Amino acid sequence: MAMYKCPTLGDCERANTCEIFERSPGEDLHCPDCKTLLELQMPNARGGKKVKPPVIAAIVGAAVLVIGSGTAFYVSHAHKSAEAEPAVRAAQAASEPAAPVAMAAAPVSAPATQSVATASDATVTSTGIAPTPEDIAADRKAGEKQLTSGDAPGAETASNRAAAKEMIKVAIADMAQGKLDSAEKELNEAKARDPKQSLVYYNLAVLRLKQDRTDDALKSFEASFLNGFQYFDAMAKDPDLDVIRKDPRFQSLLKKYHPETV
């Protein structure tokens, strides 16, 4: 069984007393008092002491993987992702033709490092742009491989990328249901996990448009472009942008960062 601690020192009695929680794969990884995600205590190969990763999500995706029907998923965010998945599927069905079963079942090759984003690495929904399950699975598998090889920082980075993408999917589902405050919380947490994830900023921009905050939306769009946004074909199909496509300021951003679309 793996050992965990609550990280919220000062705000949680169990964290203040450094209580150790033993959890088996699949068990709830939240503090029973404050509900904060527990931190995995990793064994130190040299001294046998326990050391915790610097970020809460460091090894969650790699150390706690549940395998079902050939598909791995994050336990750390699974409870909310499971609730949001029907809304994500409904949003995708409203805007996309159904993919052939043979293609959906095709095996995914998971690179050890983050792949370059392409148009196929994102899914256009009726709200925002979501990462594909294959893209998320590749990050999880990379984290697992790096953890096994002893590369804790690399495993942490890959796990955080996967966690951020899961949160983006949850946020999109929340926006589709009109839960804008919940969506904003998810996107802000995703940004904390992976500050250079362009889809975080893109979907923040979509959220700002829904909140009638056009100026802030434009800032988020530019942040997305600066962080390597590559999904311009998908963006052209996103109905959320219809309210801003003819705005001269938005046109200016496109001309600056992707003149082919102007």
Domain borders along the chain are: 1-52, 74-97+111-261
Sign of dihedral through CA atoms 246, 252, 253, 255? positive
Instruction: State whether residue 81 is helix, strand or coil.
Output: helix
Q: Residue 24: its pLDDT value, please? A: 75
pLDDT-derived band at 56 (thresholds 50, 70, 90) equals very low
Structure tokens at 215: 């100026």
- Whole-prediction pTM: 0.56
Strand ranges in 57-171 using DSSP code E only, listed in sequence order: 65-68, 71-74, 122-124, 129-131
Overall average pLDDT of the 101-115 stretch: 39
Sign of dihedral through CA atoms 154, 160, 161, 166? positive
C-alpha span between 206 and 88 (Å, rounded): 16
How many CB atoms within 10 Å of residue 81?
Answer: 18
Strand ranges in 37-147 using DSSP code E only, listed in sequence order: 39-40, 42-43, 50-51, 65-68, 71-74, 122-124, 129-131
pLDDT in tens, 238-255: 999 999 999 999 999 999
Asked: is 74-97+111-261 a CATH 1.20.1370.20 domain? The reply is: no
C-alpha span between 133 and 23 (Å, rounded): 26
C-alpha span between 229 and 221 (Å, rounded): 9
